[in-house]
Homo-oligomer: A and B are copies of this chain.
Amino acid sequence: MKAPQDVFAEYLANENLKMTPQRRIILDTLLKQDDHLSSEELYARVKKRDGSIGQATVYRTLKLLSDSGLVEPLDFADGVTRYETSYGKDHHDHLICERCGKNIEIVDETIERRQEQLAKEHGFTLLRHKMYLYGICPDCRKK
């Protein structure tokens, strides 16, 4: 499998865009600290490595990374978009604790199949989906 950096470089070349040190650092930082970072949080980490990089560049690069398919925007219901690297990883959904924010990645073949099936029944070609389960985790329930 190609390295994500190479995939990104190829994507950029294809679109007549350029690889820059800033873009390299941003992708690299995101790959390293692969939680579910917001643009803001990523910006903070990126600035530690190169203080001269601006917020706007982080936003712009995240959009490119999304378009290239390397990174996926997540949409928990709290007003901030978070990002995770999706390249080379299996698709998964999220099980989120409403109290503490704990976030567990889940996959279920039964559900995935039914989704395909449902889309088909309506004549749709399914491209992707998002599923978020919200509940209370065991730790929080005990308290």
Contacts and interface: CB of A to CB of B under 8 A. Distances in A.
A125 B132 contact: no
A104 B133 contact: no
A89 interface: no
B98 A122 contact: no
A127 B95 CA distance: 11
Interface residues on A, range: 20 to 34
Q: Which 6 A-B pairs have the closest CB atoms?
A: A123-B138, A124-B135, A126-B135, A131-B131, A129-B133, A125-B136
A133 B115 contact: yes
A4 interface: no
A118 B95 contact: yes
A14 B129 CA distance: 39
Given A77-B73, A119-B133, A127 B114 contact: no
Interface in A25-43: none
Interface string A82-118: 0000000000000101100000101010110011001
Interface of A: 73, 75, 77, 95, 97-98, 104, 106, 108, 110-111, 114-115, 118-119, 122-138, 141
Nearest to A131: B131
B129 A134 contact: yes
A125 B141 contact: yes
Nearest to A116: B133
B124 A137 contact: yes
